Amino acid sequence: MKEVVETLSVAESTVYKYIQKGLLVEIEQPNLKYAINGQRLFTSESVSDLKAQMTDTSKHTSLNSYAKEKKVSPEIVKRIVAENDIEIPKGTHGLRQTYLISPEIKKTLDQLIQENTFVHFRTKNNYYNSKKNIALLQPFIDEDERTYRVMIEGRRWGFYTETGFTTFESLKNAKPLYDIHKPTVRSSLYVNFSIPKNEKNSYLYVDAIYNIFGIENAQLLLTDESINGRIKMNTWKVANESEHIDQLLELNEYTLNGEIKLIDHVLHVICFDKRVVVVLPQEYHEQLSEMAKKQNKTESKMGQKILQDFFNKKQN
């Protein structure tokens, strides 16, 4: 049984399903008690035949497994695939026909999933708890001068300590290291960034962001692999000796759609995206809506694609 599991790269429970379906030929042993190592035995031919029917998934990931890894629903992955015209071939994963994601497609999807996580900023309690006045990854210090970062586990807000997750209320004597609030600026565009979790200066970037922009103008989210964030496009006056300037300028390495510049003691957060309002006659809007529906896209994404295709053709 163990050899079958290793050869087919499936769970033991799956092997039992193969046996029930007659896909594996078991060698009869009149007295299993005295069999070799007390194990059920199967013909190598039946194992080889079954393996030949299965797609080699050693370098591929099933769509459901990929969704689970990224902590999103399979429906979200399917929607992103459809919106971006990505073709994922089907293969046999065990007994099931499923979409198999190659390393090349995975790389593309990783970027799109990452961009999709910024949608979660629309729900404020994903990154800020107004009742407790605390923000995700905000640093607190206890009476023994140990520093902890605010985390979310399920719906609970708290800290990871030596004994595991501790709710915010349990660490009564912990105090915030700094104020996370700044005056709100008016801007509808953001510069998005993604900092790998293994980046040694990741928390320095977090502290610089909260100190300069505050929770009103910058927000952070956590994934398994990165700290994702966004900062409002605007200008901020900063003291020349500010300890956070270098960290914010280094953040340019991780920005996705803009950059941060320092000009004459003023930080400029520049977004490369531009938002325009297009007024369409009802006839054209109905056509756009119908096209978007057929391609499983939003009207905004459909309009964006039409414009991009037009300019690409014009350049060629």
Split at pLDDT 50, 70, 90, the class of 38 is low
Residue 12: what pLDDT?
86
Does the pLDDT value for residue 211 go beyond 90? Answer: yes
CB-hemisphere CA count at 13 Å for 280?
13
Residue 138: what pLDDT?
97
Identify the residue with better confidence: 242 or 221: 221
Residue 31: what pLDDT?
65
Of 66-80, 207-221, 222-236, highest mean pLDDT: 207-221
Residue 102: what pLDDT?
87
Mean pLDDT of 239-257: 89
**pLDDT tens digits, residue range 283-300?**
999 999 999 888 877 788
**pLDDT tens digits, residue range 116-168?**
666 677 788 889 999 999 999 999 999 999 999 999 998 899 999 888 999 99
Does the pLDDT value for residue 34 go beyond 60? Answer: no
CB 205 within 8 A of CB 250: yes
Does the pLDDT value for residue 257 go beyond 70? Answer: yes
Quote the CA–CA distance of 65 and 75 in Å, as a whole number. Answer: 13
Does the pLDDT value for residue 230 go beyond 90? Answer: yes
Quote the CA–CA distance of 247 and 210 in Å, as a whole number. Answer: 12
Does the pLDDT value for residue 82 go beyond 90? Answer: no
C-alpha distances (whole Å) from 135 to each of 6, 29, 122, 181, 285 are: 45, 64, 15, 10, 41
pTM of the model: 0.63
Quote the CA–CA distance of 51 and 15 in Å, as a whole number. Answer: 12
**pLDDT tens digits, residue range 89-125?**
887 655 667 788 888 898 888 878 776 666 677 788 8
DSSP symbol at 233: S
Does the pLDDT value for residue 274 go beyond 70? Answer: yes
- Give, to the nearest 10 degrees, the angle between helix 74-83 and helix 63-70: 110
Residue 113: what pLDDT?
77
Does the pLDDT value for residue 176 go beyond 90? Answer: yes
Residue 201: what pLDDT?
93
